[in-house]
Amino acid sequence: MSLRLHVQREFRYPQKPSDKELTHWAKTTISFLAAPNSTQELTIRIVGKAESARLNKAFRDKSSATNVLAFPFCAITPYPIAILGDLLMCAPIIREEAEAQGKQITAHWAHILVHGLLHLLGFDHKTDSETEDMESLETTIMLKLGFPPPYELIGDAV
């Protein structure tokens, strides 16, 4: 499986993952569900709270910034196109969540990328069953990446 990754860093912020890390995490996630010889294309846009809040309001009618927004590619074409879509990742929210949950920042970046990619790949968490399936797959992928399970509580963090 190969990946064409486009990274847009619209928000200058320390503790952002490198393109190499983003590529590794994305390829590992996609490899669980894509054909081995396929080529996939993905854009990741790293933003601040203002852009995240604006797009969250426009597309989800929620008035605050969020950690990740997933925009699946959708088009009617005469042949399949291997464009997964776009992920919008909010650097300040990811940092705040990692601190509040007592998680390592790199592990939380990886988890949010995995979570967003699973949305692009058709997973959701609207029902208990969907949530269970998605969280199980996220945990499997995070362990494969060498990170701890993302849904275990650390200390007194919620």
Q: Give the pLDDT confidence of 82-95 residue by residue, as tens digits.
A: 889 999 999 999 99
Is the pLDDT reported for residue 79 higher than 70?
Answer: yes
pTM: 0.91
For residues 14-23, average pLDDT: 90
Is the pLDDT reported for residue 7 higher than 90?
Answer: yes
Tokens at 128, concatenated: 């208990």
Name the band, by pLDDT with cuts 50, 70 and 90, for residue 156.
very low
Residue matched to tokens 């390592």: 104
